[in-house]
Copies of this chain bind each other. A is one copy, B any other.
Amino acid sequence: MSPESWLTAEVAGPKKASVITKPEIADAMIKRAKRPVLVVGNIATEIDLEDRKLIDYLIDLAKRCQIKVVATAHTNAAFLERDFAPDAVMSAVDIANRLADPDWKGVDGEGAHDLAIFVGLPYQMAWTILSGLKHFAPHLKTISLDNVYQPNARWSFSNISIKDWIMNLKSIIGNQET
């Protein structure tokens, strides 16, 4: 399988994301991470996945495996509506800039993050921001959990259907419970 950028022209390479072919991969990476952080962009509040929004899945994910959460843009409001308080509210470029700094102590001040999970940013903005991290944050692993291929992440789904996406997310969340 040759994963393609979702927006056709946003080709990357030679360094490209490995494809999360099954949820266990993401799973394992999250489990292995010591200090993961989940960066949630505004589109997570808009996308319907069955009867819930994407953001609801992400709250589950964050809670069940105790990942710190950064809400970008106005995503915070949607979190609060759901009685979930993100660990930080920050613009996407701000959090990326800090993640690129190996001396940054993380959203909780307790040490550098080793894994950043991105989801819900506009595709092209995620593309450029992940590119910044790919090139300038060698100490950091990144995962994109959007249902489109993000070549600049370390790991990404390929362009998958909503159905597969739901299945994958559920599986990742589920696995973390065990």
Contacts and interface: CB of A to CB of B under 8 A. Distances in A.
A8 interface: yes
A154 to B, nearest CB: 16
A8 B14 CA distance: 6
B1 A2 contact: yes
B13 A11 contact: yes
A143 to B, nearest CB: 19
Interface residues on A, range: 10 to 19
A80 interface: no
Contact of A14 (B1, B4, B14, B16): B4
A100 to B, nearest CB: 24
Contacts of A23: none
A3 interface: yes
Contacts of A9: 14
A11 B8 contact: no
Nearest to A4: B14
Contacts of A1: 2
Contacts of A4: 14
5 contacts: A2-B2, A4-B14, A11-B13, A11-B14, A13-B13
Contacts of A5: 14
Contacts of A3: 2
A11 B14 CA distance: 6
A24 to B, nearest CB: 21
Interface string A1-38: 11111001101011010000000000000000000000
A9 B8 CA distance: 19
A121 to B, nearest CB: 22
